[in-house]
Chain A
């Protein structure tokens, strides 16, 4: 359909306030947080800001009829170009549709529209002494819709898992405009195995199967107490060994984070007052629960860590915990400081490997960085083997960009070689689809058949996932 006709159709259909059509305005929808969209800039033909399921339905029926690509978008904090419209068409910006529809405290669940921001939801739930446990680093900006579509998780995934474990049901507008409810039309049950599990199909589908317009989430009771253990190691291999021993002792911490020497240097350069000890690795364990169990778990971790670590500290005092945790919380921002004219980029940033392969992964990523002449900073959720690598480059130097893309490719291949995956939490989007077959083999054909059954004209977020 001709662009101007498309714009005026949508304006007539939804009213001018819900549609952006000016070329300049559309440019702002060419990016998300990925490095990819810093290199290429593709605008949509039109942006729609829906405020109801009916709005979305109308757009999908129209797009289906005219075979127009549609890209759903939350806050655009994805690292994979997932919400960037690679072939123009319509972008559905769902981020302003942020209603908390119902807190059903009696049934420990909450129903929201897709645009609710993660931290806003948890602030709201705090009054009911409940929380939605997945906790991405982007908590203060990403939407629940985006989290569901990407099956996001965070540093507490080691204990609390990913978004998928909490999604009880979804309302989805399919590519042809049909609206379905998964997890039971009226169900409020927490346990439900009836039917094929369509909820799980849509969680993590990255917008290629339909538009998520309502989300019913399971909530957990908020733990009463927390504690932090910091352990400093001179030998990298001692870090995963300690983690394993903690598990064997019957403890499942709510978070286990690692900073390797590159991250320690970056943090100290960024905020000298944090003054992390110079070491090969620092582990941070977070335990949560009821006060006596937190105390027992914390002191037991200390005993285990002391066998290998040079220095161990344990605290349940809020100020001290914040100080211990500060190093980790600034790492992402600190990464760029390892090089004065450098910037941290989001690419090759999210591999996950088995616990037994973490030390090797960290060592080999460092070696790959040296091979390609690129500085890297490594940190991550060691508890579940999720390694975040931050390459630091001058993104305006084409030769460096070329080199870093080779490095990123090598990191992704390394993840598969170490029996891991190219992405532990950020997703595939446009940047990792080339690895789909390498990771999944013929299963990709089945994924494509499912896609085709729901989206015969390939209008839903084309160019993503596989």
Chain B
């Protein structure tokens, strides 16, 4: 699609009055402090690109990628512009004109194929454990990743040995009487880097009478591809996911990953697959889709019974894609508060991006670490001994932060803590 035809470019670009409200809220602007990274600057650049004032070249792409896609600008924009979507569209447009082989290989061949992803994860784990990062680099595996993996390696330090898919079966029967048939959209990040979250999700859901299906032919939600300019790949992935999940006769579809659920929202999917004839499929899929926290509270209506006490001080980091993109802020906190003994302490600016943002921490390591530094400061001020969040990318980044700053606190999904405290629930 040419840039002009992209719906938001057509309708929203002209609404920007460059008032600059986005400058002051942008976490990247807070670090770089010049107009080239201001979100309104990105809007300006998209316009310049559309009007052929600049060419679709890599250097324009690089400037547009100085952005976490955290959506803080968009939710603060007085003119209601989806700045992050304009940015993504422009990146994709440039990308098509200048495909870069390295990223293509990784994002198209590896990240679209669960088996290869698992192998990649396993390989990373092996190299981590055997201290062979250097060898990995010379073998060329690291080159498959976007950006400089010598730094990315640090973020991926704790790649678990087994992915969630290799631990969990496709069909997980309910404990007791079957009440609902639930499809689990197991995101790549959770699968590879936080399998314990997936295990906890399945444990909690099955204990509440859900049969949990983890379709083997499910694919990535496409968010990393869209963020890296590969909208076509993102489309193909989601078309496959719609087919898979819509054919399964499910009561609900649940995901524990904030980034996946935002990419899978009706609004995002309709934008991604605009004019492709999938509206009905999308509606069928999205009408049953739930973020796990919301699902537990609103559909299963859980309330705690005989949960064992967890004596801990927890602070909750709001993932951008959950809080800003979907307005889910109360639910994860409510789940945490259910757990006896657990003290929830709010950090300052809990919605401020942690700088992880999927592949951003790998492609822009130094910048990402500066953003992380601010987050770690506010976490440290709470004195919490556990950090909770609902996104595997945030989890990786925050874990890296705890290592970098020597802050001894594990990073957990609320569902992990729920599972830890027992799986005895009362449904109202």
Binding site for B on A (CB under 8 A): 20, 22, 24-25, 27-29, 31-33, 37-38, 41, 47, 49, 75-77, 93, 95-96, 117, 138, 140-142, 332-333, 336, 341, 343-346, 394-396
Stretch of B20-28, B151-159, B372-380 that contacts chain A: B20-28
Residues A141 and B19 in contact, CB atoms below 8 Å apart: yes
- Decide: B35 and A138 in contact? CB cutoff 8 A: no
Q: For chain B residues 6-64, which have a beta carbon within 8 Å of chain A? A: 11, 14-15, 17-21, 23-24, 33-36, 38, 41, 44-45, 48, 53-54, 59-60, 63
B78 within 8 A of A: yes
Residue of B17, B36, B41, B79 with most chain A CB atoms under a 10 A cut-off: B17
* CB-CB under 8 A for A93 and B17, given A41-B53, A75-B23, A141-B24: no
A457 to B38, CA, bound (A): 33
Q: A20-B34, A76-B35 are in contact. Are A28 and B44 (CB under 8 A)?
A: yes
16 contacts between A and B (CB under 8 A): A20-B34, A24-B36, A24-B54, A31-B18, A37-B18, A49-B34, A75-B20, A76-B35, A93-B35, A96-B34, A117-B24, A336-B79, A341-B11, A343-B14, A344-B17, A345-B17
Cβ–Cβ contact B17 & A33, under 8 A:
yes
Range class of the B interface residue count: 20 to 34
The answer to whether A395 and B35 touch across the interface, beta carbons within 8 angstroms, is no
Q: How far is the CB of A462 from chain B (nearest CB, A)?
A: 21
A148, B60: Cα distance in complex, Å: 35
Q: State the CA gap A332–B77 with chains docked (Å).
A: 12
The answer to whether B24 touches A33 (Cβ under 8 A) is no
A75 to B80, CA, bound (A): 21
With both beta carbons as reference points, the residue of chain B lying nearest to A32 in the complex is identified as: B18
B residues less than 8 Å from A341 (CB atoms): 11
Chain B nearest CB from A163 CB (Å) reads: 18
Q: Which of B15, B35, B36 contacts A343 (CB 8 A)?
A: B15
A69 to B17, CA, bound (A): 26
A-B interface, 4 closest residue pairs, ranked by CB to CB distance from nearest: A333-B78, A96-B33, A28-B35, A141-B20
In the assembled complex, which residues on chain A have CB atoms less than 8 Å from the CB atom of B20? Answer: 33, 75-77, 138, 141-142
Q: How far is the CA of A47 from the CA of B36 in the complex (A)?
A: 11
Q: A20-B36, A28-B44 are in contact. Are A33 and B14 (CB under 8 A)?
A: no
Q: Is the CB of B34 within 8 A of A396?
A: no
Q: Which residue of B lies closest to A93 (CB)?
A: B34
**Cβ contacts under 8 Å, A343 to chain B:** 14-15, 17, 79
Q: Shortest beta-carbon distance, B154 to chain A, in Å?
A: 25
Partner of B19, one of A22, A138, A394, A395: A138
Chain A contacts for B15, CB-based, 8 A? 336, 343
Residue of A nearest to B35 (CB): A28
Chain A residues, Cβ within 8 Å of B35: 28-29, 76, 93
B residues less than 8 Å from A28 (CB atoms): 34-36, 38, 41, 44-45
Partner of A47, one of B34, B41, B54, B79: B34
A458 to chain B, nearest CB (A): 25
Q: How far is the CA of A237 from the CA of B98 in the complex (A)?
A: 62
- Enumerate chain A residues within 8 angstroms of B38, measured Cβ to Cβ: 28
Chain A proximity mask over B336-369: 1 for CB below 8 Å, otherwise 0: 0000000000000000000000000000000000
- The answer to whether B33 touches A24 (Cβ under 8 A) is no
**Set of chain B residues within 8 Å of A140, measured between Cβ atoms:** 21, 24
Q: Please give, as numbers and ranges, the residues of chain A lying within 8 Å of B54 by CB-CB distance.
A: 24, 27
Asked if A77 and B14 make an inter-chain contact with CB atoms under 8 angstroms apart, the answer reads no
Given A24-B60, A41-B53, A346 contacting B33 (CB threshold 8 A): no
> Once the chains are docked, how many angstroms separate the CA of A77 from the CA of B24?
12
The complex places the Cα of A233 from the Cα of B15 at a distance, in Å, of: 31
Given contacts A24-B63, A333-B78, A333-B79, contact A76 B34 (CB under 8 A): no
Q: Please report the C-alpha to C-alpha distance between residue A142 and residue B78 in the assembled complex, in whole angstroms.
A: 15
Query: B60: which A residues are within 8 A, CB to CB?
Result: 24
Residues of A within 8 A of B24 (CB): 117, 140-141
B14 touches A24 (CB 8 A): no
Contact at B33–A25, with CB atoms within 8 Å? Answer: no
Residues on A with beta carbons closer than 8 Å to the beta carbon of B78? 332-333
Complex CA distance for A336 and B14, rounded to whole angstroms: 11
Q: Which of B383-420 contact A (CB under 8 A)?
A: none
Contacts of A75 in B (CB 8 A): 20, 23
* Least distance between A380 CB and chain B CB atoms (Å): 17
Residues from chain A with a CB closer than 8 A to the CB of B63 are 24-25
Residues in chain B near residue A396, CB distance under 8 A: 14
Besides A27-B48, A28-B35, 6 other CB < 8 A contacts?
A: A20-B34, A22-B59, A25-B36, A25-B63, A27-B44, A28-B41
List B contacts of A41 (CB < 8 A).
48, 53
The answer to whether B21 and A141 have CB atoms under 8 Å apart is: yes
Give CA–CA (A152, B390) in the complex, Å. 44
Choose one: B14, B23, B80; the contact of A395 (CB below 8 Å): B14
**Nearest-CB residue, chain B, relative to A22:** B59
